[in-house]
Chains A and B, each alone.
Chain A
Amino acid sequence: MQLTSRHDLVFVTATLTYSGVSIEIADVLVDTGAASTVINADFAAQAGVYVSPADTLRRLRGVGGHEHVFTRHVDRLAIGDRGVDQFEVEIGEMDYGFEMGGILGMDFLRAARAVIDLGRLTIEFA
């Protein structure tokens, strides 16, 4: 699967499945510096994932600031054929000033056994 590069960051298209509905999410950042995976709330809404009163709320604290998100187990998160079932994602507004579908963190990349080739700009799976 080909990666695309913008702002010296690498992005990929992911597939999110929730309650039988699958949607393609473009421009998902591949981020080995992130522990967890975040999905843009606008895309999550397309798949029918809305925040509910009982959802767990989480605060992500970083160097540049902080962001509140909610967490939800989705049926599947995949890149091409390789996916992880019953995967917990964080869902937030992701207002960083440029369009992004989400962030694939180390929790997903390790579970999916991703092999990232930055020379050829590809992501494959072991």
Chain B
Amino acid sequence: MYSQVRTTTNANQSATSRFPTPPSTPAASTIYIELFRKSARLSRVAAVNLSLRSANLAVASAVEKLGRCHSRWLAYGMQWSEVRVAYPDQWLVIEALEAHSENDHRFFDRVAVAEACSDGRAAMKRYSELQREHPHREFCFVHSSKPELDFEERLWFGIRGLRAADLSA
């Protein structure tokens, strides 16, 4: 991405030096200067567009390769307010490092961001996979626009959380 930007900038500079000298008539020279300015502005816009597009493509392909989620394990826990600043407006799979239940609500006191996901569906699937791989840890999917980490908690009997292997055991 950076090399592309630099190349485009160099091309602009050489184009500038190759630009013919404006004619002496005042009216014509004004037109010339105006044309020159426009073309310079257009190539700048094109360069910015190009670099933005290649940046987007790079992110998109990286996200695609990693199965629509990318991993960002953090060494230490964060408060939800800190997570919201670090990961604004996106779907996340988070892990509770400390949590407690109170008045039929579950509170995640300290969390780690396990993954940032492209959409809610991907976050739910990834949450489910991680929870299955690590049954004794506590994950959840959530969008960082939520002001509070607030989960209603319901008690459930029966098959909840059991897998076929457990049923046959």
> What is A's interface to B at a CB cutoff of 8 Å?
7, 9, 29, 31, 33-36, 41, 45, 50-54, 56-68, 92-93, 95-98, 103
Residues B160 and A59 in contact, CB atoms below 8 Å apart: no
A117 to chain B, nearest CB (A): 20
Report whether over half of chain B's contact residues are helix, strand or loop; otherwise say mixed.
mixed
A-B residue pairs in contact (CB < 8 Å), sample of 17? A34-B157, A50-B121, A53-B120, A53-B146, A59-B140, A62-B160, A62-B161, A65-B161, A65-B162, A67-B131, A68-B139, A93-B125, A93-B128, A95-B128, A96-B159, A96-B161, A98-B164
Residues B161 and A51 in contact, CB atoms below 8 Å apart: no
Docked complex Cα distance between A114 and B97 (Å): 43
> What is B's interface to A at a CB cutoff of 8 Å?
91, 101, 106, 119-121, 123-125, 127-128, 131-132, 135, 138-143, 145-146, 150-167
Chain A residue with Cβ nearest B142: A57
Q: Which of B124, B150, B160 lies in contact with A60, CB distance below 8 A?
A: B160
Report whether over half of chain A's contact residues are helix, strand or loop; otherwise say mixed.
loop
Residues A62 and B121 in contact, CB atoms below 8 Å apart: no
**A33-B157, A93-B127, A97-B165 known; A57+B140 contact, CB < 8 A:** yes
A27 to chain B, nearest CB (A): 13
**A7-B167, A41-B124, A45-B121 known; A29+B153 contact, CB < 8 A:** no
Residues B143 and A53 in contact, CB atoms below 8 Å apart: yes
Docked complex Cα distance between A12 and B135 (Å): 29
Residues A61 and B121 in contact, CB atoms below 8 Å apart: no
**A58-B151, A97-B165 known; A68+B141 contact, CB < 8 A:** yes
Chain A to chain B: the 7 pairs with minimum beta-carbon distance, closest first:
A65-B161, A62-B160, A97-B164, A53-B143, A97-B163, A93-B128, A51-B120
Residues of A within 8 A of B91 (CB): 53
Docked complex Cα distance between A51 and B123 (Å): 10
B15 to chain A, nearest CB (A): 47
Which of B120, B123, B156, B166 has its CB near the most chain A CB atoms (within 10 A)? B156
Docked complex Cα distance between A51 and B165 (Å): 29
Residues of B within 8 A of A65 (CB): 135, 160-162
Residues A31 and B152 in contact, CB atoms below 8 Å apart: no
Residues of A within 8 A of B135 (CB): 65
